[in-house]
Every structure is written in C-alpha cells, then in structure tokens.
Amino acid sequence: MADIQFRLNGVATSVDADPDRSLLDILRGPLRMTGAHFGCGAGECGACNVIIGDRAVAACDTPLWSVRDKDIITIEGLGSAARPHPLQRAFIAEQAMQCGYCIAGILVSAAALLMRNPAPDDAAIRAALDRNLCRCGAHNRIVRAIQRAAAEMAVP
Amino acid sequence: MTVPSSAPTLPASLAANPKLSSWLKFTSDGTVALSPGKVEIGQGIVTALAQIAADELDVDIARVQMVRASTAASPNEGVTSGSLSIQQSGRAIRQACAEIRQIFLTAASERLGADIGGLAIADGMISGPGNIRTSYWELAADVSLDRDATPGAAAAKRSSRRALAGRSVPRLDVPDKVFARPRFIHDTALPDLLHGRVLRPELSGAKLTELNEDGARAVAGLVAIVRDGSFAGVVCATEYGADAALQALRKGATWSAGETLPDDNDLAAFLKAQPVETTIIATKASAQPGAAARTIRRQYIRPYIAHASIAPSCAIAQWTEDRVRVWSHSQGVYLLRSDLALVLNLPVETITVEHVEGAGCYGHNAADDVALDAALLAKAAGGRPVRVQWSRADEMTHAPFGAAMAIEIEADLDARNEIVGWRHAIWSNGHTARPGRAAQPGLLAAFELATPFPRLISTNPPQANGGGADRNAIPFYELPAWQITSHRLLTMPVRTSALRTLGAQGNVFAIECLLDEIAAERNEDPVAFRLRHLQDERAKDVIRAVARRAGWKPAKTSGTGHGIGFARYKNTGAYCAVVAEIEGEQDIRVKRLTIAVDVGEAINPDGVVNQIEGGAIQATSWVLKERVRFASDRITSNSWTDYPILSFTEVPAVDVEVIQRVEIEPVGAGEAAHGPVTAAIANAVFDCLGIRVRHLPITRDSLIAAMELAP
C-alpha cells in the first residue's frame, strides 16, 4: 500500500491503495465516481477515458502509481447540469447518442482534443475518437456535436 | 355467440393488461407517472411513449414521469424487441390515455356542472365557460383508475390534433447520460453492495472437474465462494477483490476437454451437414407458369455475429429469506422472472425483476444470463445485494450469438432472363432462445449446475410473428412462383439467439444481391428492375425517394461503386431503401449511405433518423468487419482486437429521408436498415470491382475468394 496524491477535477486527492491497481478501479471503487465506465479492461474501447494533463487515456489501463502528482479530469469534472461544458450542451442539442454508455469516455476524449486543437476538422475529430468505440452507430451525430461545441467555444 | 367484426377492440397490449391504473397514475406533485412494460435500450422508446401520452392527455411532456418496468407493478408487455414497442406499447398507451382523458372529462363535467362538450384541457387543467376549472390532479382523488379499459369507450385523437407526435422531442434520458448521473445498472449504488464474479471456461462447453479454492480464500474481503457443478463464482466486499478472487479461482480450476466447434472457414459445409427440422415457410404457384430456359443457383453465407455490447452485462440480486429481488437490463422482466423461477425452483410471486438501463444490447445478449448468476451468488451473501458484472471476454464468448446462415436461392429464368420460379432455402440454427418462453430455462448458468437443465436449442418464431431464420425470406416482390424452405439445426455447438433483425439481414442480402445480378444480366437498371417487380406504392416511394436523393445513378468513376438495397422489414414493418457509395480495391470503404424510410407515423422523427443512422452504421460494421472466430474447441474472438467493429474513421456519411405518413399506424425503425444496407454495399462492390461477394463479411480475404470462384 502507498499513499498516492494527485489532483482530481481540481481537488487535491490522496489515495491509500496498492499502486498497481487501475485508476478506473480507484475512481469507481474507493472514490465512488461512476462516470467513467468499464467496457473492456484492456484500453481498447475508451468507455473509461479520463484526461491526464491534456491527453485522454484509458483509466482501466492506467496504474495508480503513474498518476502521482498528475492533474486528472473525469467526466464529473467536465461540467454539470447547472454549469455544462459546451460539449455537454452540444451533445444534448445534437441528441448525440443512442444508449449512451460510451458517451462519458467520448466527451472526455473530445474535451482533450479541444484543449489541444480548438478548431478541429472532421478528420481530426474522427482521428481523436478512433480509440473510442460506439456500438449503436451514433458516430456522425457525435462528430457534429463536437463541431458545434468547438464553434461555440470559438465565439469570444 | 358471434361478435361482429366491426366491434371495437382494445390494442393487444392493453387487452392483455386492461387495468388502467397499471399504465398511468396522476401523482400528487402534479406529474403523470406513466408505466409501460417496454424498456429503454438506447432506442429512445421512453421518450416516444411519453410523447404519445402527453398528446392524448393534453399535458406538458415535462410532467410525464416514466416508470421503469418491474414485475412488481408494470403491465406485462413481454419482451422489448422486434421493433414492436411503438406498435404494441404505443397503441396501448394512446388508447388507455384516450379513455382516461374521457373518464376525467366526465368527472369534471359532474363537478363543474358543465357539458363535456364545453370543456377543454390544457396542460392537465380542465376548464369550461365562465372561468370554471379543475385539473387531473384535483380530480384524481375521486376518480379511480382501478378499472379495466373498455373497448370503444373513447377514440384517440386524430393525427392532426396531436401537438407532439411528429415532432423531434429531445430524449428524456440524454441529460443524465451527458452529465454522468448514475442511470446505468453498472453505476447503481445500494447500501452494503457486494461484488460478484463468475468463473467461465475458455474451452467451449468444458466441465469444471476440480476447484482448488485456497488462493481465492486468501483474498481480502472475500465473502463467499459458490460452486454448484460447473457453476462457480466469488462474492467479495469490493470489485477489485472480486476480480482478484476470480483470478485465483481460475488458477485453481481444472476443466474437461472442450466440445468440438465447426470449421469457421467452412460454415456452409457445417450448417448443411447437421440434423435439421425442415419447414416449408411459403409456396406460391403461378397460374400460368413460364418456361424456364435456365436456372441459376447462388449460395450466400452470413457468419455468426456477436452482439458485442459496449458494456459487459451486469445485474444485482438480493435475497430476503426466500424472496429475491433482481435488478436487470433484461429486455423482458417478466420472461426473465419465469426462467429464474424455473431454475431457483421458486414460485414467481417470490421473485421481483426490476429494469435498470444497460448499454445497447441489439438482441438477446448476456443480460438475462448475468441476472441468474447474480441470484445464485447473492444466495451466499447473507441478505446483502450482490452486483455481478461479466468480463469483456465472457461477453464476447459466452453470450449468445446471431446465428450463422447458409442461404441458397435457385432462380428459374426464361429466355428473356425474366424470373419465372424462385426457391429460397436456409440452413441455420434457430434465431431465438430467449428466456421465459419454454418449459425449460434459457439462462447459461442453468446448463452448468450440478443438476443441469438441458441446453436450450434455439428455435424460430412463426412467420406470423415475423419469422426467425426465415424473416424476410419471402420476397416482397411480385414474382410469379416461389418456395421458401427453412432447415433449422437440431444441434447447437455455438450458442445462438436473437440478434437484431434475426434472419432478415441474411435473407435480404441474398434476395437483393441475386435480383441485382439478374438485373445486370438483363442490362436493366436495378432501380427500374425493382420498381417493375413491386406493386406496393409505399415500397416504390422509398425506392424512388432514395434514387432521387442519391442522384441515381451517379456517373461511374474508377475505384468507386454504387449499389441499391430494399426491404420492408418482416414484410409488414418499416420500408427502407438504401443507396451505398463505396470505394475500394483490396479493402472496401463505405463512403456514404443514402436512405429513405417509411415507418408510417414517425412519432419522433429525429428518433427515427437516429435509429436508422445507427442501424446503417452497425450493419456496415457487420458487413465489413464482423465474424465470430473459433478454433476447434474454443471461441477465439474474445476481445475488441479479435472482434473489431467499425471505428470513427471508418464510419460512412449517412443521409436519411423520412417519409412522414401521419395517417398510418407507426412501426419501429430499429431493424429496418440492416438488410438493405448489407445488400446495397455488396451490390456497390460489384459495381466497383465486378465481383459478386456472397460470403460475409466483405473483407480482403472474401474478395479474393470471390474472385477465384468467379467464372
């Protein structure tokens, strides 16, 4: 066991746990944050994506030790109904989902993309989401929603 | 006694669940609690049903609270499948609400001393001349809805008087999902919740012969190890601990040899060599048989396809003495309850199954299986609730698959290459083994217990219910004669059950590709050929609409191709025509799908578009990528790497036109696109490369194989 500290959605957080446990397990278990979803446990589907620094990474594939002193943003930190992130507003406007299980991870990947590239074109959006799987076929709506959010964020 | 045929009748779902209060209650906080028996599986059904109720009652849709289906109180509407929810639940709710509206108008008339004809309802407020007013909620205490619906008691509104139907109302479940508020069963928090995992073999059908539990017992927080025959699992205080205990249990497990699986490179040989039950589905004889100059015979193959839900299946169960409560993302809470009762040997009244949303399932996946797993593990948990979640590998290997199909069509052609005879034969496992419909259970763990239930061999629904393997096998075209035959396998080495469209994807692929081939031999435009063989105007309309929208037929350029596909789902449901634009040499890329669809009255047009887009993209994934792979004794496609699906960079543009027909009863949209998209892509491949690929998926390998087979 080790005491590992990081910033989670801007809040200093300390976790006393086996450092080899996955970040997803820590989030969903002791931290009781269920926004990041378990999909495969192998970093292949993106349902559990979180932002570390300015990159979206699969929390299921990220050991706790590796996030020491890092800045982590989860879907819970993106926004809320009272203060939605432009992406969240855009996903509602475009009805950009069917079942929605993959959406938390996709919102996170999109937010990381917009941090690095505020005006991504269609190809850049698709490339950034290529490791996020959607089984329902909501892909094109999702891309439209991200374009809508980017346009909204570009307005000064 | 005879009943005149014009006697009013209730919609089937309302006739089966006539008590009005089981559908709807006016609650004291000014809301309407609407309780359908159908469940949300990502298709937006709860929103469409809320629209129907709000329209019929004249209340703001924001007042409609949708109650999740539960065997404790909900109407029993069987299973949420087959694109029937709008037809079944929608009609029942529309009629129930119409009658409830009438009951309240009568009560208001009495209370206010005004004629019913002078009363109006706006957002639940009932008002009349001279500023008299009351409301549903004010009257609710005095009006009992604990009465049965009466046929003919009230007529639903005419379509022109509905405010919400036909409007794209935002889905009610979307905000929770965008803001990560717990809505999925996976995220459900319960006091004292424990976590369970089940040990399943990698070898197909292997029996657990020995189990050393020492390693698992050493895991911190372990609550119980459960073993009953080949069923084994762990219960632990944490999910992390449950995973660790399962890993230890796996190390201590000894399994028998696996059962032999078919050669996945020669599915046709396997399917055609099995013992079968043969059914003649339909025959049509020509009054004036044309002379056949020749007969062409083509064989089409669809592989086993995984549901591959993005979430692993999950359930929660909790025992209180000899009663058990189960939370499940099953498509049929009552049907699951029946099977649980069989396996647990309990009266159904002692079991409650409550629906909580999961991820999209696309048919009968492991949702029901994991519910039994949870009930079995929770028995050892001392009354605490136990949440069980499958692994990705188990989801990809132990859940039922969509059945592989070999389809052979013989077409008799006359001297002018006109079709004079048509024989369509299918070899396939049955397309459903859903729980709750047989004398024996269909749940995986039931087959693994020390005293096991026999493995349920999948069957086919009758053609009157849309059929199974034979779904859409009867041509919708005006052909002079045909015979449709279904050979259902009586062995089932690979577990199969309902996958979106059942056999329709395979049959539409076969029919539409062969028609395309015959049209090409005649040098006839495939759109004109289809229109010439159709009489149904709605069918012709979707084909004309898609041809217009896609600019049929676009000029031929090197490396691209265009193809068309059409079907009316189940021959009774939604009409859908698709033009696919592809490009490719060695690998096929689908660039654009142009689609026209007619579902009758589209209650929520954007919901229809969403379902059609999703179905089209999923079908593209099936066509270009998907097949379950196996070695001689195990399923090997157990991860997203080994069972790839279409990714964001591979998804085509999808352009959908909805032909709105407000006067025609609505039907579902979720399965309309799969068959036509499949055929359109295959026909576009021919247009592009001159190769007829009759073996799905269409990959580099199947293109090469088709080229070698070509004359």
% pLDDT > 70, chain B: 99
Determine the pLDDT at residue B4. Answer: 52
Which one is predicted more confidently, B64 or B159?
Answer: B64
Residue A135 and residue B186: Cβ atoms within 8 Å? no
pLDDT digits (tens, 9 = 90+) for A1-32: 779 999 999 999 999 999 999 999 999 999 99
Q: Does A148 touch chain B (CB under 8 A)?
A: no
- Please judge whether A40 and B184 are an interchain contact, meaning their C-beta atoms are less than 8 angstroms apart: no
Mean pLDDT score, B17-30:
96
Distance CA B18, CA B76 (A): 11
The per-residue pLDDT for B585 is 80
CB-based contact B614 A98, cutoff 8 Å:
yes
Of A129, A130, A135, Cβ closest to residue B310: A135
Pairs of residues, one from chain A and one from chain B, whose beta carbons lie less than 8 Å apart: 159
For chain B, report the end-to-end CA distance as a whole number of angstroms.
66
Q: Which domains does chain B have, with CATH numbers?
A: 12-158 (3.30.365.10), 191-257+307-397 (3.30.365.10), 401-431+467-709 (3.30.365.10)
**Residues spanned by CATH 3.10.20.30 within chain A?**
2-77
Interface of A with B in 57-116 (CB under 8 A): 75-76, 79-81, 84, 88, 91-92, 95, 97-104, 107
CA–CA distance, B236 with B242 (Å, rounded to integer): 5
CA distance B618 to chain A (A): 6
Q: Is the pLDDT of residue B631 over 50?
A: yes
Could you read off the pLDDT of B522-543 as tens digits, one per residue?
Answer: 999 999 999 999 999 999 999 9
Mean pLDDT of B256-261: 94
Contact criterion met (CB < 8 Å) for A103 and B178: yes
Q: Does domain A79-154 have CATH number 1.10.150.120?
A: yes
Q: Find the CB nearest A38 among B186, B611, B641.
A: B186
Cβ-nearest to A88 among B178, B615, B645: B178
Query: Is B3 a residue whose pLDDT tops 60?
Result: no
Q: Please determine, for residue A71, whether its predicted confidence score (pLDDT) is greater than 70.
A: yes
Determine whether the interchain pair A126/B615 forms a contact, defined as Cβ–Cβ distance below 8 Å: no
Report ipTM for this prediction: 0.98
- Is it true that the peptide bond before B191 is cis, omega within 30 degrees of 0? no
Average pLDDT of the segment spanning B365-376: 98
Averaged pLDDT, B250-277: 96
User: B665: which 2 tokens?
Assistant: 């009863």
**pLDDT at B606 > cutoff 80:** yes
Q: Over the stretch B133-152, which tens digit does the pLDDT of each residue have?
A: 999 999 999 999 999 999 99
Q: Which pair of tokens denotes residue B568?
A: 């009316």
pLDDT at B711 over 70: no
Q: Residue B187 to residues B40, B156, B556: CA-CA distances in angstroms?
A: 16, 39, 51
Give residue B1's pLDDT band: very low, low, confident or very high (50, 70, 90).
Answer: very low
Average pLDDT of the residues of chain B: 96
Contact yes or no for B309 and A45 at CB 8 A = no
Best mutation target among A99, A107, A141 (most B Cβ atoms within 10 Å) is: A99
**Which stretch of DSSP H or E encloses residue B503?**
none
CATH superfamily of A2-77: Beta-grasp domain (3.10.20.30)
Q: What pLDDT does B43 receive? A: 85
Q: Cβ–Cβ contacts within 10 Å for residue B121, how many? A: 17
* B676 close to B508: Cβ distance less than 8 angstroms: yes
Q: What's the average model confidence in pLDDT over B110-124?
A: 95
**pLDDT tens for each residue of B685-709:** 999 999 999 999 999 999 999 988 7
Strands, sheet with B386-389, edge to edge from the N-terminal-most edge strand: B222-228, B231-236, B194-199, B386-389, B314-320, B323-328, B351-355
Q: How far apart are CA B362 and CA B497, in angstroms?
A: 11
Closest CA to B186 of B39, B394, B368, B359: B359
Would you tell me the crossing angle of helices B674-689 and B605-625 to the nearest 10 degrees? 50
CB B393 within 8 A of CB B237: no
What are the pLDDT digits (tens) for B346-357? 999 999 999 999
Nearest chain B Cα distance for residue A84, angstroms: 8
Tokens of B589: 């890329």
Q: Label each residue of A28-47 as H, E or C.
A: HCCCCCCCCCCCCCCCCCCC
Does residue B434 have a pLDDT over 90?
Answer: yes
Q: How confident is the model at residue B5 (pLDDT cuts 50, 70, 90)?
A: low
B271: pLDDT strictly greater than 70: yes
What pLDDT score does B515 carry?
Answer: 98
Tokens found for residue B654: 């999808």
Q: Determine the pLDDT at residue B484.
A: 98
Q: How far apart are CA B564 and CA B542, in angstroms?
A: 12
Place of tokens 């068959």: B675
pLDDT for residue B2: 47
Q: Report if pTM > 0.95.
A: yes
Q: What are the residue ranges of CATH 1.10.150.120 in chain A?
A: 79-154
Interface test with B, best of A48, A134, A135, A140 (most B CBs within 10 A): A135
